[in-house]
């Protein structure tokens, strides 16, 4: 079992005909509340600390996009509990509104396969909520799994990796940052044009335009390549959570899986002190230049030297093999990553079956040629958006799947059950006894007494938990696992 | 029964045929059905102004 628990959070773009950013927080709240299927309401916010920085301090407040402040300038915003909708899903994931965006945070998983599958299942949850909202209001509504509105606003797809606190910030930063910059060539979602920085027709990353610092705790404005938020959702003395904000929202399940696999590999190497020692001259500039390199050279400036994104990724793959870090589950992911590095140089058509940015680029190019458009035409960004549309009846990504031009999703059931699966069992079977749910704990009420149960993040839980005949047996089984 | 007319009447000369590039007959000119292309059909349905209309608040 790979002990690095992981999960993924995706904020969805929300478009409602006749509505705008000024009403988007209220609209996102209502969309989440429209979710028509069984779920649990009662999120426990006690353990949340987004202002804590893993370098050992907390900021007074997080920076806010000044453009967003304009939308609220003349408004009296209702209290937070009115503008907040939170649902715990029967698979242990969380569905809520993060300000103006419906968001799915998957349950924690020991396997990147499982995390990618939960992320994919999240699309159906958001779609069900959007369709229910549209049916109730009569409005035309669309949800996009992407990270930009092409007008300068970005929203995130974040990954979480639980790592021992003994791994210091500096080691983690130096091990992970080169991979954050390089992996976009195998995992980027692709974007038409740019919103900041140097001009381009098409780039690999949805997010590259929005980073201004190498490392900080911000997520809404002045975003960093490496986010230093220190909010472990577990015992803070023992754990820290690496919160990655520089990845894209992928439509291809295989890209979601690959982007998480590559970061876990970097963390595993950091844990044994064997991460490749790349020192990037400027991670922000490198991220942007790789994203916008139409020649596919993907050069990266180091302190006093140059390398390429190809070489950076290969160095991690080779090191993982050298130090025997590749499990049987991860072997195909490593082989595929290496194969794609080769295909990107030699066989772009085959490469584009497996990577979002290349599939999208082909699609946009086809449209551009058919319509006789220049790269500057705004309708190409509409094609980009349609790729991200999660409605299968409208989505261009789905049309590519249906015409067998990209690989289809696949799934194998998890071998090791995380605390996320325990949450799933509690919500599915014993929700009438639940009073609060968070990432790290469940609180039941039994015979008028509150019964909190803290869930350890680092153990595999038995499937027999699903077979408990009553809530007392469920809690008893759980306590037996937690205190053997 | 003898059908002498049929046997003795000279036949009408055949009209000159156009020949194909290889000297053989041409295929009849028919409207070929256009193969369905769901991807192109879906592309044609894209609202070209959707990105112009799409405005979001910043997220995390």
Three-state SS annotation for A378-402: CHHHHHHHHHHECCCCCCHHHHHHH
Q: What is the dihedral of CA A45, A165, A64, A29, to 10 degrees?
A: -30
Quote the pTM value: 0.91
Helix (H) or strand (E) holding A24: helix A24-33
C-alpha count within 13 angstroms, C-beta hemisphere, residue A124: 8
Angstrom distance (rounded) from CA A32 to CA A103: 9
Compute the nearest-CA separation of B44 from chain A (Å). Answer: 9
Choose among A12, A13, A183, A21: nearest CA to A112.
A183
* pLDDT bucket at B27, cuts 50 / 70 / 90: low
Residue B4 forms contact with A (CB below 8 Å): no
Phi and psi angles of residue A412, each rounded to the nearest 5 degrees, phi first: -125, 140
**Mode of pairing for the β-strands spanning A101-105 and A211-216:** unpaired
The residues near A389 (Cβ < 8 Å, ≥ 6 apart) are: A142, A143, A144, A395, A396, A397
Query: B54 by DSSP, 3-state: which?
Result: coil
Give dist(CA A360, CA A367) in Å, integer.
11
In this structure, are residues A191 and A202 in contact, taking their beta carbons and an 8 Å threshold? yes
Name the closest residue on chain B to residue A154, using Cα atoms.
B58
- CA atoms of A342 and A347, how far apart (whole Å): 8
Q: Is A363 on the interface with B (CB under 8 A)?
A: yes
User: What is the rounded CA–CA span in Å between residue A194 and residue A197?
Assistant: 7
Pairwise CB contact (< 8 Å): A221 & B58: yes
Nearest to A84 by CA among A95, A76, A68, A75: A95
- Which residues of chain A fall short of a pLDDT of 50? none
The CA angle B44-A119-A107, to the nearest 5 degrees, is 160
- Whether the CB of B29 is below 8 Å from some CB of chain A: the reply is no
Distance between CA atoms of A4 and A460, rounded to whole angstroms? 12
> Active site residue: A98, A119, A209, A356, which one?
A98
Q: Which of A105, A140, A154 is nearest to A438 (CA)?
A: A105
Is the CB of A383 less than 8 angstroms away from the CB of B46?
yes
What's the Rg (C-alpha) of chain A? 22
* A98 catalytic per annotation: yes
Give the best residue of B37, B46, B47, B60 to mutate against chain A (max A CB count within 10 A).
B60
Q: What is the pLDDT of residue A305?
A: 96
pLDDT of residue A221: 86
Contact A153 B60 (CB under 8 A): no
Whole-number pLDDT of residue B4: 41
* Cα within 13 Å of Cα(A107), Cβ side: 28
Question: From CA A3, how far away is CA A109, in angstroms rounded?
Answer: 10
> Which tokens sit at B3?
């059908």
Determine contact, residues A315/A308, Cβ cutoff 8 Å: no
pLDDT reported for residue B2 = 41
> Quick check: B46 and A382 CB within 8 A?
yes
Residue A110 has what pLDDT?
96
What does each C-alpha distance from A128 to A82, A102, A201, A249, A472 come to in angstroms? 22, 12, 34, 19, 33
Q: 3-class DSSP state for residue A224?
A: strand
Both tokens assigned to A322: 């050298």
> In degrees to the nearest 10, what's the CA dihedral of A367, A406, A386, A103?
-160
The yes-or-no verdict on residue B15 having pLDDT over 60 is: no
> What is the C-alpha separation between A379 and A213, in angstroms, rounded?
32
Q: Report the chain A residue with the minimal C-alpha distance to residue B38.
A: A399
A363–B38 C-beta distance less than 8 A: no
Structure tokens at A153: 């606003």
Q: What is the SS3 string spanning A301-318?
A: EECCEEEEHHHHHHHHHH
- Residue A297 · residue A204 · CB < 8 Å: no
**Which of A155, A378, A383 is nearest residue B56 as measured by Cβ atoms?**
A155
**CA distance, residue B11 to nearest chain A CA (Å):** 55
Structure tokens at A373: 């458009």
Q: Write down the pLDDT at residue A226.
A: 96
């Amino acid at each position: 079992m790979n002990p690095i628990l992981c999960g993924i959070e995706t904020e969805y773009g929300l478009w409602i005909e006749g509505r705008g950013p000024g009403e988007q927080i209220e609209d996102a709240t209502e969309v989440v509340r429209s979710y028509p299927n069984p779920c649990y309401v009662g999120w426990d916010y006690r353990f949340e600390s987004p202002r804590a920085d893993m370098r050992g301090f907390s900021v007074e407040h997080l920076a806010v996009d000044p453009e967003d402040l304009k939308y609220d300038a003349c408004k009296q915003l209702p209290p937070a509990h009115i503008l907040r909708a939170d649902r715990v899903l029967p698979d242990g994931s969380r569905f809520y509104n993060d300000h103006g965006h419906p968001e799915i945070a998957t349950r924690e998983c020991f396997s990147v396969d499982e995390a990618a599958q939960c992320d994919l299942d999240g699309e159906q949850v958001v779609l069900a909520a959007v369709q229910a909202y549209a049916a109730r209001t009569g409005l035309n509504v669309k949800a996009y799994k992407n990270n930009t509105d092409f007008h300068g606003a970005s929203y995130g797809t974040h990954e979480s990796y639980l790592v021992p606190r003994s791994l210091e910030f500096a080691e983690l930063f130096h091990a992970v940052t080169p991979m954050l910059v390089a992996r976009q060539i195998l995992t980027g979602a692709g974007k038409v044009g740019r919103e900041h920085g140097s001009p381009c027709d098409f780039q690999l990353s949805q997010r590259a335009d929005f980073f201004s610092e190498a490392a900080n705790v911000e997520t809404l404005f002045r975003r960093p390549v490496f986010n230093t938020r220190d909010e472990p959702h577990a015992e803070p003395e023992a754990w820290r959570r690496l919160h990655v904000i520089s990845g894209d929202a992928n439509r291809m399940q295989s890209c979601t899986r690959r982007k998480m696999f590559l970061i876990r590999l970097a963390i595993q190497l950091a844990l044994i002190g064997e991460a490749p020692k790349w020192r990037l001259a400027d991670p922000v500039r490198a991220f942007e230049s790789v994203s916008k390199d139409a020649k596919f050279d993907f050069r990266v400036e180091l302190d006093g030297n140059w390398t390429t994104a190809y070489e950076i990724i290969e160095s991690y793959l080779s090191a993982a093999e050298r130090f025997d870090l590749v499990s049987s589950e991860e072997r195909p992911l490593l082989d595929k990553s290496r194969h794609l590095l080769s295909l990107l140089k030699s066989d772009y058509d085959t490469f584009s079956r497996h990577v979002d940015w290349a599939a999208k680029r082909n699609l946009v190019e086809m449209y551009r040629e058919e319509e006789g458009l220049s790269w500057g035409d705004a309708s190409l960004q509409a094609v980009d958006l349609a790729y991200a549309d999660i409605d299968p009846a409208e989505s261009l990504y789905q049309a590519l799947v249906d015409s067998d031009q990209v690989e289809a999703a696949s799934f194998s059931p998890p071998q090791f059950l995380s605390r996320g699966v325990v949450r799933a069992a509690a919500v599915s079977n014993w929700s009438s006894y639940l009073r609060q749910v968070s990432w790290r704990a469940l609180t039941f009420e039994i015979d008028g007494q509150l019964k909190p149960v803290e869930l350890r993040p680092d153990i595999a839980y038995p499937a027999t938990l699903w077979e408990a005949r009553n809530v007392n047996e469920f809690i008893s089984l759980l306590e037996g696992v937690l205190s053997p | 029964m003898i059908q002498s007319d049929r046997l003795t009447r000279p036949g009408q000369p055949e009209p000159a045929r156009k020949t194909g590039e290889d000297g053989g007959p041409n295929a009849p000119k028919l409207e070929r059905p256009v193969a369905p292309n769901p991807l192109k059909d879906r592309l044609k349905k894209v609202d070209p102004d959707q990105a112009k209309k799409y405005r979001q608040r910043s997220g995390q």
